[in-house]
Amino acid sequence: MLATVHTFIGVVIALKFQNPWLVFPTAFFSHFLLDLVPHWDVFTMCNVSEAHENITKKDKIKAVFDFLIGLSIGLFFVLRTLPNRTLATTIFFAAAFSNLPDALEAPYVFFGNKNIVTMTIMKIQHILHNKEPLPWGIVTQVITVGLGIFALTL
């Protein structure tokens, strides 16, 4: 899943539940649940778990761009909920927790740095990722965002 979608679903979780004790673990585990949905993302179609060298500079730039879009979405909702600092903080951390598994892969993806946490998360993610090429891999994410918007209206 794109970081943008993970972020948006993290925001939805925060807005629906608002209790940080419920929101943070739910946002974190939503990442793995969303990765079960057939999807495309920058690194899903290249085999990141096998070799850092498979990742091109262009792929890294796309990933950073996706991260910046996700960050913008998260910050939009954080700023929109101010002056309610409690809700704004909950949204911020829900967005962060929903992307944490991918963030934990960053040392390897961007720098080739292997450590026990990164490699463990990568093994888990490799098992859970349900890959789908374009265009259907984006369609499933649009549907996921649509379901998130629907959930906000309930």
pLDDT of the chain, 154 residues: tens digit per residue: 999 999 999 999 999 999 999 999 999 999 999 999 999 988 765 555 556 667 888 988 999 999 999 999 999 999 999 999 999 999 999 999 999 999 998 888 888 888 999 989 988 988 888 989 999 999 999 999 999 999 999 9
Q: Where are the domains of the chain?
A: 3-153
Q: Which tokens in the block code for residue 83?
A: 């002056």
Query: Residue 131: what are its φ and ψ, rounded to 5°?
Result: -80, 140
Q: What pLDDT shows up at residue 46? A: 58
Tell the residue number behind the tokens 């761009």, with chain if given: 65
CB of 90 closer than 8 Å to CB of 14: yes
**Where is 112: in which H helix or E strand?**
none
Which tokens sit at 96? Answer: 């962060």
φ, ψ of residue 39 to 5 degrees: the values are -155, 165
Contact by Cβ (8 Å): 66, 7: no
pLDDT at 51: 62
From the CB of residue 12, how many other CB atoms can be counted at a distance below 10 Å? Answer: 23
φ, ψ for residue 84 (rounded to 5)?
Answer: -75, 90
Cβ within 8 Å of residue 137, ≥6 positions away: 38, 39, 40, 41, 44, 131
Question: d(Cα 74, Cα 62) in Å, to the nearest integer?
Answer: 18
Q: Report pLDDT for 122.
A: 87
